[in-house]
Structure formats: structure tokens, C-alpha cells
């Protein structure tokens, strides 16, 4: 993600990827795309997944603090919304957890939370 660099709380990797894909494809409907994430999307990102009509999301590590696809919420499978995504979690979970540990260790070393 680029929250710190951009000083933008919405600059999560999923949001940036969705924006870039929509610009590249010339459409906000990403109906033929799959989103791959290291960490389970948060509520904001899960909402963007629904809005972008992404059919498939694959993530590695669950997020016990903000997971919005399986852990805390199931926004991407909420029948009250106009779109649902198929979500597969736990893919390469150990590897993704290692990537996240390293990322957050670097952030702490830089004095960022």
C-alpha cells in the first residue's frame, strides 16, 4: 500500500490496483478480472471490490483486525448488496504472513505505525 507515501488513507494496495485496472481497461466494471491480495481485504477495499463488480478475489493471510471477506465481515458475499464475489482465502498463507511480517518490521524501523 501507499498510505504513508501518498498521505492518503484510501491508498491500500487493493484500491490502487482497482483504480489502475479500471483506467487501463477503460471501464469501472472489472467483470473479467481477478484480484490477488497478500492480506484479506478490509471493509473499504471489500466495498470497492463489490462496486467494481470483481468476480474473484484470492488472498493469502487472514486479517483478524479488519478482514472483511471472511474474518470479521463477509461484505463480498452479502446478499443485500448488488454484487457478490467469489473469495478464496489462505492461499500461500505462510508465505504471505512472512511478507507482511517483514513489511511491518520495516515500517516500525522507520517509526511508522
Per-residue pLDDT tens over the stretch 5-53: 767 688 899 999 999 999 999 999 999 999 999 999 999 999 999 999 9
- Number of domains comprising the chain: 1
Check if 102 is active-site: no
Cα 43 from Cα 101, distance rounded (Å): 21
Q: Which domain holds residue 63?
A: 3-109
Closest-CA residue to 31 (of 85, 89, 88): 85
Give the active site residue among 4, 14, 23, 40: 14
User: 79, 30 in Cβ contact below 8 A?
Assistant: no
CATH number at residue 12: 3.40.140.10
In angstroms, how far is CA 16 from the centroid of its own chain?
10
Specify the pTM: 0.89
Closest-CA residue to 93 (of 17, 39, 35): 39
Amino acid at each position: 500500500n501507499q498510505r504513508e507515501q501518498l498521505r492518503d488513507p484510501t491508498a491500500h494496495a487493493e484500491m490502487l490496483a482497482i483504480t489502475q485496472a479500471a483506467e487501463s481497461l477503460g471501464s469501472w466494471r472489472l467483470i473479467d478480472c481477478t484480484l490477488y491480495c497478500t492480506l484479506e481485504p478490509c471493509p473499504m477495499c471489500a466495498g470497492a471490490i463489490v462496486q467494481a463488480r470483481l468476480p474473484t478475489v484470492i488472498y493469502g493471510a487472514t486479517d483478524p483486525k479488519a478482514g472483511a471477506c471472511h474474518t470479521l465481515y463477509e461484505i463480498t458475499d452479502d446478499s443485500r448488496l448488488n454484487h457478490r464475489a467469489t473469495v478464496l482465502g489462505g492461499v500461500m498463507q505462510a508465505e504471505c504472513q512472512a511478507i507482511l511480517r517483514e513489511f511491518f518490521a520495516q515500517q516500525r524501523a522507520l517509526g511508522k505505525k
